[in-house]
A and B are shown apart, each in its own frame.
Chain A
Amino acid sequence: MESKLIVQHLTKIYGNNTAKAYEMLKQGLPNDEIRKKTKQVVGVRDASFAVNEGECFVIMGLSGSGKSTLLRCINQLIKPTAGKIILDGQNLAILPSKELIEIRRKKIGMVFQRFALLPNRTIVDNVAYGLEVQSMPRDERYKKSLAAIEMVGLKGWEHYYPANLSGGMQQRVGIARALATNPDVLLMDEPFSALDPLIRQDMQDELLEIQKKLHKTIIFITHDLDEALKIGERIALMKDAQIVQIGEPEDILLSPATEYVARFVENVNRSKALTASTVMMKPRSIIHPRTGPRTALHLMEKYGISSLFVTDQQGGLIGYIKPEDAAELINQGIKKLDTIIKDDAPTTNLDTPLSDLLEILAHTKIPVAVIDEQNILKGVLVRGAVIAGLAGERMRFDE
């Protein structure tokens, strides 16, 4: 895939004499030592990554890890000490200010942690701000702003003032404002951190909805791993001004690159990142409809399980049988299982997140069948394995 935005060896050192500190940094001295020797503070240290067109890239770290500085270096709100920021082949770090203003107007939108709405302007005038500085005529910018307001679900609120709106609504305005100029890239600086947990989740869902329609290239900053796992297609983890790991949510959870990442991940709500495919067991107890009840009963006894899935020759799920029904068949002397196969087996897809599975598991007595799009039985979920997955053990119930 085409890289929309490439960040190469980006470094930001705060202070009035950064040259010497940068030399030390290149020699590999740690941040603390540089600070003690030169009184210069390293904000971002040699960060490199590439973001694909239409990707949602999350930068995560605790406060002070340099993630906000990194974000601001991208649109040059903070001038980096060294490194390149290449957007569509153009290095923003060396762009003359006139061209930079043009890039900021047309290509990059920004959403702020504390919303950054102008209190003296109505919602529509806040949303129109980016278009206004482009000297777009009033009617045209209102038309575009109203479309953006509608997209974030605030239709009817356009003539209110920010103070009339709740926090969640205010951030919707912030998002509408960033969308109104129709930029390719959205920079989101902890946009939902100031909101209540429930509203935060709504906003995350809504962002994902909007992203499905618009396919923006998003750089999303957060300190919340749950949020990162939900929003991010890839995640970069920052610590002490450095990126310590970049990867897809599951990579980060299942194979943390450093001790730090591992500790960070320890507390995560795993139910959101793990999917059915990561915790399912191999379907070890398939039988075909032509198998007799005795064999079925024998298999159930052997494995100590109380139900057995039945598939066709291609592996397609047909249903399941219960041991008591099999025993009844034996008593009656019937050799075929057809009559006792129940077709109301609980099923789920390979990529269903664990959080959704818990509910299914809670309401069923038999294991859940994991099937793909062709209805092929891929695995079986049992409570024990799911709970183990939540607990952080990567278990494989292979035989």
Chain B
Amino acid sequence: MSNFFGLISEWFESIPRIPLAEWTDTMIAFLTLHLRGTTRAISEVLQTYIVGLQDLLTIIPPLLLILLIVIIAWRVAGKSVALLSALGLLFILNIELWDVTMQTLAMLIIAVFLCVLIGLPLGILAAKNHTVHRIITPILDFMQTLPAFVYLLPAIPFFGLGVVPAVITTLIFAMPPVIRLTNLGIKQVPHDLMELGESFGSTFFQILFRIELPLAKSTIFAGINQCIMLSLSMVVIAAMIGAKGLGGIVWSAIQTLNMGMGFEAGVALVILAIILDRITQSFGR
């Protein structure tokens, strides 16, 4: 018996090591060489939008912008959330973190917008087509569990340093819940409501827009809410490759052991997270 296992292990050891690391390196080098033109072009465009939005948010007088956000919060989520937003944002303004918070917010808006733009159709497709669902599911698992650092660095050769690779890595990390929950929300639409749509002569898109999406709304918004929260948690990690904003402050505070500064930026991040969470949650209702 032991002889048998001896033989097996001898045979196993004779198999050469699979050079996954080398393959990855070669692959990235290959892709960098051939895709760089495209990715750099994407990077340029994204850069323009993100910086544009950052400029816009910082150009508006802070108090005016706070008033706007509070009005939105009040209309969408009610009095208490509006009050919370007012106090939180005024506090951020008071501790002089307004501009960096707006940088973070701009990055976040672009990242979440792209997540929804790509994730929503993919989620619908996955709900409608079994093959798409089976292909997408392992990819989503991969995106959610692969440590961010592993794809953070390879993003640099493609998109350069700065805010763009930060947004791209945020996309990878934060898009899965949008896809998953869109898929779930649409699959949960009761069968007889689908039959209702069909039997009254609805087209594919009429069923999608008049029955499925409205009924899946709260589930989809739960996905978008998750997406925002995950994006915020990527802010600090993304700062390591040159994204500024609140993450940048935290990152430099860590490097300089400046605990007070780090805590301030951290609290600002939490305030931003809570306001966005409450507002998007009420959208879903």
List chain A positions with a Cβ less than 8 A from chain B.
72, 75, 77, 101-106, 108-110, 112-114, 116, 118-120, 129-130, 132-134, 177, 181, 187
B199 CB contact (under 8 Å) in A102, A104, A134 = A104
Q: How far is the CB of B271 from chain A (nearest CB, A)?
A: 32
> Cβ of B52 < 8 Å from any Cβ of A?
no
Q: Are A134 and B201 in contact (CB under 8 A)?
A: yes
Chain B residues near A129: list those with CB within 8 A. 196, 200, 210
Chain B residues near A116: list those with CB within 8 A. 190, 192-193, 195-196
Chain B residues near A102: list those with CB within 8 A. 201
Nearest chain A residue, comparing its CB with the CB of B207: A133
Q: A105-B201, A118-B214 are in contact. Are A133 and B206 (CB under 8 A)?
A: yes
Contact bitstring B13-50, A, C-beta under 8 A = 1, else 0: 00000000000000000000000000000000000000
Q: Can you pick out 11 interface pairs between chain A and chain B where the beta carbons lie within 8 Å of each other?
A: A72-B195, A104-B201, A110-B196, A113-B192, A114-B190, A120-B217, A129-B200, A129-B210, A130-B201, A133-B200, A133-B201
A103 to B201: give the CA distance in the assembly, Å. 8
Q: How far is the CB of A116 from chain B (nearest CB, A)?
A: 4
Name, among B196, B202, B203, B217, the residue most crowded by chain A CB atoms within 10 Å (CB to CB): B196
Q: Are A110 and B206 in contact (CB under 8 A)?
A: no
Nearest chain A residue, comparing its CB with the CB of B200: A130
Q: Are A118 and B211 in contact (CB under 8 A)?
A: yes
Q: Are B199 and A118 in contact (CB under 8 A)?
A: no
A108 to B210: give the CA distance in the assembly, Å. 20
What 9 pairs across the A-B complex have the smallest Cβ distances? A105-B201, A104-B201, A110-B199, A130-B200, A116-B192, A116-B196, A101-B201, A133-B202, A133-B206
Name, among A72, A101, A103, the residue most crowded by chain B CB atoms within 10 Å (CB to CB): A101
Q: Are B201 and A118 in contact (CB under 8 A)?
A: no
Q: Are A114 and B202 in contact (CB under 8 A)?
A: no
Nearest chain B residue, comparing its CB with the CB of A134: B201
A72 to B197: give the CA distance in the assembly, Å. 13
Number of residues from B at the complex interface, CB < 8 A: 18
Q: How far is the CB of A243 from chain B (nearest CB, A)?
A: 23
Nearest chain B residue, comparing its CB with the CB of A100: B201
Chain B residues near A112: list those with CB within 8 A. 192, 195-196
Chain B residues near A77: list those with CB within 8 A. 195, 198-199
Q: How far is the CB of A17 from chain B (nearest CB, A)?
A: 18
Nearest chain B residue, comparing its CB with the CB of A110: B199
Q: How far is the CB of A87 from chain B (nearest CB, A)?
A: 14
Chain B residues near A181: list those with CB within 8 A. 200
A134 to B214: give the CA distance in the assembly, Å. 19
Name, among A75, A103, A113, A116, the residue most crowded by chain B CB atoms within 10 Å (CB to CB): A116
Nearest chain A residue, comparing its CB with the CB of B217: A120
Q: Are B193 and A118 in contact (CB under 8 A)?
A: yes
Nearest chain B residue, comparing its CB with the CB of A135: B206
> Cβ of B110 < 8 Å from any Cβ of A?
no
Q: Known contacts A133-B197, A134-B201, A187-B199; can you find 11 more A-B pairs with CB under 8 A?
A: A102-B201, A110-B195, A110-B200, A112-B195, A114-B190, A116-B190, A116-B192, A116-B193, A118-B193, A120-B215, A130-B200
Q: How far is the CB of A101 from chain B (nearest CB, A)?
A: 4
A187 to B198: give the CA distance in the assembly, Å. 13
A103 to B198: give the CA distance in the assembly, Å. 11
Q: How far is the CB of B101 from chain A (nearest CB, A)?
A: 35
A72 to B203: give the CA distance in the assembly, Å. 18
Enumerate B208-231 residues with CB–CB distance to A below 8 Å: 210-211, 214-215, 217
A102 to B202: give the CA distance in the assembly, Å. 9
A114 to B215: give the CA distance in the assembly, Å. 17
Q: How far is the CB of A301 from chain B (nearest CB, A)?
A: 67
A98 to B199: give the CA distance in the assembly, Å. 13
Chain A residues near B199: list those with CB within 8 A. 75, 77, 104, 108, 110, 187
Contact bitstring B92-123, A, C-beta under 8 A = 1, else 0: 00000000000000000000000000000000
A110 to B199: give the CA distance in the assembly, Å. 7
Q: How far is the CB of A324 from chain B (nearest CB, A)?
A: 67
Chain A residues near B217: list those with CB within 8 A. 120
